[in-house]
Structure 1
């Protein structure tokens, strides 16, 4: 409640420079640690000296000096934390040593998807000439082998020292997987096949994590033995235990489009339900002599649950906040929710500064900040005398506050907005409560034939009912606005506008109103200008699809995609669809390369393509077109499937895609032809205005 926060927020003020330092270090990485370390040491010495010589130097006359120094120290410490945390800066990183084999410890629960097993591993030693050399660093390992399904956390493997750098995004709008992994200190990956790895030891992981993973797997198996529907089992495992391996993309999409994806990520709401259950069960210990014991028991169970669900940023935030709140109430201390929120973020960022880049961390803290700051303002918009109506509006105000606070971030990362989020969240309140309470009771109790089956039945039917409601909302007209692509500048501006609007409502400030209107005007002009530019742009994009082919012809908001991929293929959804959305192509056709096309901006007959003022030749193993007239000027020739270019194309620049072999590409290089290679390179874009 803002009205109650008339004091200052020291923790929040300390958090801002730390976050700024971390952000600057991420935006401007540098190999020289002295850039952050030297200023940090100098500022710390100055601060200590001023405190020691406080009176002789009359420092009290400059009250602002201490604050400036503290903020500067926190800024430089944030910068240095990022440098220190980066594994590539360690002198013994495995990538800096030549070796024949690597000794690695599995550091994450192996996940099985399709016929692949993927996990992260710590490289503890490099094997060279039968000698072990100590190393450090994390590597992502993917194994295509049925036997790999039996690998577990903490096992030690011997693998060949053959690994590659994680590749950057090659196509417009494509997810930056390289950056995502880099923020988890993973820069290299290895692909292994049968007989390329060997288990040499076990029990090399953290004993507590090993125990938690083992317990979680037993609980998942317990769910499977007492429930029938596979979808319900997957949702229950995800919602209660944070086990997402069995969750399908269709279910994820239904929750995402209805604005309820947050319930599939174990977070503060789940921890709050557990807290309510524990408070009820331990209610008899509310005596002054036992309240400390009660608080310790609740805190231990909360952190045990956080461990069981994988220590996600949202759970860590909730567990740490609840720990501070319980400790404060136990000793009758005044509690400021905003300060506690800032303290929890401060502690977590000191532990791992890369958490600032985690989407779950960002969404979790923004949602709670929205509840603390925005919800009281929204709740005051309407007053109801009826208790049921007032309760309904209070719940609605919570959902609106969280959605408003997280909307810019959701639009930036996920490019969509769920229109019926309020209805969806209101409808799932009861099912989620039933699922959590029945699920937790079911998992805490031992296997009792009648009781376990009954609880499993309630759990299954509650999940299926909730899924049906969400599917109905998902399929409703205008259920979500998709293809929202905003830049970082627009994202920042949108947050500023939201903050100014709520400040204006709370303070009745004309200045804030005027500033917010200016912000809306600038934002609208920027979006309109971007839309105008997109609608008047014509271009051809030759995509890098590795072993597949793809060309996008954009004519304003219309487009044609030539590809050998079906539209429902995961490679299409990963690489081509984001390209279409980011280029603001709203109407398009997906056609095979053998198609004949005749529309106002694109003509294609066999291998010849006319697009505006560009003439292209698409050559593959099925092309009947083998040569061109001498007077026909071809701008580019696109080669795929090792198709040999005709002698008439001697002076035509070539575009060579990833379907061509290394031997073929080397042959073209030796011939001295002009070419652009798509393999391991960014997509080639040709403007045609």
Structure 2
């Protein structure tokens, strides 16, 4: 507690959030908790001398209670059923553009039906003109309440949207009328400016892939990126390059700082840091304060506050404080997968990077430092995040280590070039030569990433992992540091015991799941699915085999990873079939 108080109390705050989310307390219990927390706070303030030994316990208890209280007020909402029909005339305005699908453009917005106002996801026919932030819109819409999934292995989209206070989807017809806003807010004006720059990028002569990449890597707009490109970035482990993250913010901060120190005197150097921090916050606001951007800006700001105060920067203090500030404003951020992965990656870099560097030759040259740090940071971050990656996505590619080693050293050049391209386009400066160089460079980059993604021999999917296995793997990562630093018998045996515990848990989980037999009948869009599971084998009968790829991605793969299926078959299900045979057993389809 004496060394890392901020990190420890933040972890206690997170435990309180998890407790309230899994074992929700009612309002009366929460109000009693508030009284208890006030009592602890008063005791710590007035009787700290007498409570010296118990102070750490009381502090942890205080922040645990605060986690419960803040999460209660962040998630509490009275259950009210909107008095709306299935088909209504809806007045709405958009607040955010979402990923485009094969049939629809998707937006997040606020809809008004009669006296009811509610957040919603808007589905608009793909051939409809682009909506903007300076108009109100009106259209006929089909309203559907978002329902939770039927089975536990399916992604709970309803819960995901519930955390954003969204419970309805609106499917709009083509006849959308509009009226210009007379009360455009400052934030809507900023969003409109960003939208106009995105439209200017669309009007350049670059290829579609280069335009969508530019919009994604600088302006955080991945809505038009095709599924193939996203798949390549995911399979190669380079999705962090496409999504704006800490790397982008650090590079943009460094670029702005570099320009300032060349123009201002040495005695005013600290103001260069302040102006650079202000710039990245303005940039973050311009691109919409995305969760990953907000986390990166917060952590970088806290880190450089230590520098400005002439105190030794402490990565764990910055990590704990930034996480606490973000969660105080919105405790639901903790359940964002990006939040968990980004903070765990930083912890992994803190814990493993220096020990790994010590195993490399001496870094006495710039290129050695760049190459070795790239390798060790990539390995440390991927080892730390691997348990959660397997738990949420059930896939992993060993090629990602090689891909990051080759691509990441050039990420600074890519980000700076992309930023300068965006600035030129924003000011309507069009240099055909620069556009051509950027276009060809990005197309080459995408081809290299596609090549990495196609190395199937190093790609593994449908990897079943439960929470107990995640905890045991994180324990292995924790004990790995001692083995890297001092490879002695004691540290090696501790790591070996943790590996043994992991395999015991995994074997037990496999045996437990393989004892279950299951028969399910499910409607997937217009496709009907009948499945039978016996042991670690399953067979899926589907009515429309032409829709097989989407079926595998959204239904079969999640089922196999959840039920620890080793082998599965896919067969056609004719409409006239009423009985099916699987492993010498007859099943009736009702």
Cα 1:546/1:98, change in 2 over 3 Å? closer
1:491-515 deviations in whole A, cap 9, x for unaligned?
1221122112224544778766544
Matched with 2:29 is: 35
Q: Secondary structure at the match of 1:525?
A: helix
Cα 1:445/1:230, change in 2 over 3 Å? closer
Q: Secondary structure at the match of 2:541?
A: strand
TM-score, reference length from structure 1: 0.77
1:223-280 deviations in whole A, cap 9, x for unaligned?
3333432122212211122110111111111111111111111000011111121122
Alignment of 1:219-618 (within 5 A): 219-287=197-265, 290-384=268-362, 387=365, 388-445=367-424, 452-503=431-482, 505-506=484-485, 513-532=492-511, 539-565=518-544, 566-594=546-574, 607-612=578-583, 614-616=585-587
TM-fit CA distance, 1:221: 3.1
Alignment of 1:82-93 (within 5 A): 82-86=71-75, 88-89=77-78
1:128-159 deviations in whole A, cap 9, x for unaligned?
xxxx4xx6653333344744x44323644567
TM-score, reference length from structure 2: 0.89
Alignment of 1:63-212 (within 5 A): 63-86=52-75, 88-89=77-78, 95=81, 104-109=92-97, 111-122=99-110, 127=114, 132=115, 137-144=118-125, 146-147=127-128, 149-153=129-133, 155-157=135-137, 163-171=143-151, 173-194=153-174, 199=178, 202=181, 206-208=185-187, 210-212=188-190
Cα 1:280/1:234, change in 2 over 3 Å? same
Which is worse superposed, 341-350 or 452-461? 452-461
Cα 1:271/1:562, change in 2 over 3 Å? same
Q: Is contact 2:134–2:184 with CA below 8 Å preserved after alignment?
A: yes
Q: Distance in 2 between matches of 1:173 and 1:64?
A: 47
Q: Is contact 1:47–1:66 with CA below 8 Å preserved after alignment?
A: no
Q: Distance in 2 between matches of 1:177 and 1:47?
A: 39
Q: Secondary structure at the match of 2:168?
A: strand
Cα 1:449/1:50, change in 2 over 3 Å? closer
1:19 partnered with 2:7 = no
Which is worse superposed, 546-555 or 149-158? 149-158
TM-fit CA distance, 1:217: 2.6
Work out the number of aligned pairs and report it.
586
TM-fit CA distance, 1:569: 4.2
Q: Secondary structure at the match of 2:216?
A: helix
Cα 1:191/1:290, change in 2 over 3 Å? same
Q: Distance in 2 between matches of 1:562 and 1:477?
A: 26
Matched with 1:666 is: none
State which structure, 1 or 2, has the greater radius of gyration over its C-alpha atoms. 1
Q: Distance in 2 between matches of 1:572 and 1:33?
A: 43
Q: Is contact 2:141–2:171 with CA below 8 Å preserved after alignment?
A: no
Q: Distance in 2 between matches of 1:594 and 1:115?
A: 27
Aligned-residue Cα RMSD (Å) equals 3.2
Which is worse superposed, 580-589 or 434-443? 580-589
Q: Which has the higher helix share?
A: 2
Cα 1:557/1:406, change in 2 over 3 Å? same
- Structure 1 runs not aligned, ≥5 long: 1-5, 596-604, 617-635, 639-654, 656-689
Q: Is contact 1:167–1:178 with CA below 8 Å preserved after alignment?
A: yes
